[in-house]
Amino acid sequence: MGLLDNVPVPMKKRMAFLEELDRRHRSGDVPPDVRLRQVPPDTGKFLACMAMMAPAGTYLEIGTSGGYSALWISVACRELGRKLITFEVLPKKIELARETFRVAGVDDVVDLVPGDALLHLQAYKDVSFCFLDAEKECYAECYDKIVPNMVQRGILVADNVLSHKEILKEMVDDALSDQRVYAMVLPIGSGLLLCVRR
Ligand SMILES: C[S@@+](CC[C@H](N)C(=O)[O-])C[C@H]1O[C@@H](n2cnc3c(N)ncnc32)[C@H](O)[C@@H]1O
């Protein structure tokens, strides 16, 4: 069964809208506080699969943008009866993501928290799924705040580890040798770091 088979029409429509908007942003001159920079569909599908397999606990996303990756994760949340908490710091993106969750019909599944995720992360003590897709400079700090609070077999996925190989090298190398997790890099989309809490 394809993952999209189970996706309601309003969500499919919003995904298609955001994919087209992202395509236009990538080929045009769009200010940084508006540019979506969202994951490609293959990464979205992979996130939905991982979210489907994650154990019970708190689901987090760091970097909402227009809500595209959150929609994919919410497919699993809806099926499992779980919720996603997603963080976004830029006002224009918060507005767009709110619209995304409303028109896609996932307001009851996704909780958008405005502001810097770093100020909130330590409050979550049972993280079972986390998608890290924020500014690369804060990846290591996010990782350090999340991993100690992950449940056993909890899943953390970080994006852009191949597209931003140089800037993320130290963080990725640290994760690959971190005894608390099983970790590997996957050539999906911009490159994903996958960590499973031991
Ligand atoms: C690459 S985009 C996220 C794309 C989104 N995950 C998707 O695929 O649809 C990164 C987003 O993270 C946000 N961001 C960066 N650092 C953040 C932080 N510390 N807390 C919350 N949001 C942050 C940025 O404003 C930006 O919108």
Residue 48 CB less than 6 A away from ligand 1: no
Residue 138 CB less than 6 A away from ligand 1: yes
Residue 132 CB less than 6 A away from ligand 1: no
Closest atom of ligand 1 to 44 CA is: 8
- Reading the chain (198 residues) residue by residue, the pLDDT tens digits are 776 777 899 999 999 999 999 999 998 889 988 999 999 999 999 999 999 999 999 999 999 999 999 999 999 999 999 999 999 999 999 999 999 999 999 999 999 999 999 999 999 999 999 999 999 999 999 999 999 999 999 999 999 999 999 999 999 999 999 999 999 999 999 999 999 999
Model pLDDT, residue 7: 87
Domains of the chain: total: 1
Residue 52's contacts (CB-CB under 8 Å, 6 or more residues apart) are 76, 79, 80
**Å from CA of 44 to ligand 1 middle:** 15
Residue 68 CB less than 6 A away from ligand 1: yes
How would you label 113-138 residue by residue, b for 16+ Cβ within 10 Å and e otherwise?
Answer: beeebeeebeebeebbbbbbbbebeb
Phi, psi of 113 (to 5 degrees): -105, 115
| Span between the terminal Cα atoms of the chain, in Å | 30
Model pLDDT, residue 141: 98
Q: Which stretch of DSSP H or E encloses residue 12?
A: helix 9-27
Give the domain range for residue 164. Answer: 3-197
How would you label 42-52 residue by residue, b for 16+ Cβ within 10 Å and e otherwise?
Answer: ebbbbbbebbe
Closest atom of ligand 1 to 68 CA is: 9
Residue 19 CB less than 6 A away from ligand 1: no
Strands 127-132 and 110-114: unpaired
Hey, what's the torsion of the CAs at 23, 25, 29, 33, to 10 degrees? -160
CATH (domain of 92): 3.40.50.150
**Å from CA of 15 to ligand 1 middle:** 17
Cα–Cα distance between 189 and 167 in angstroms, integer? Answer: 17
**Å from CA of 84 to ligand 1 middle:** 15
Model pLDDT, residue 6: 74
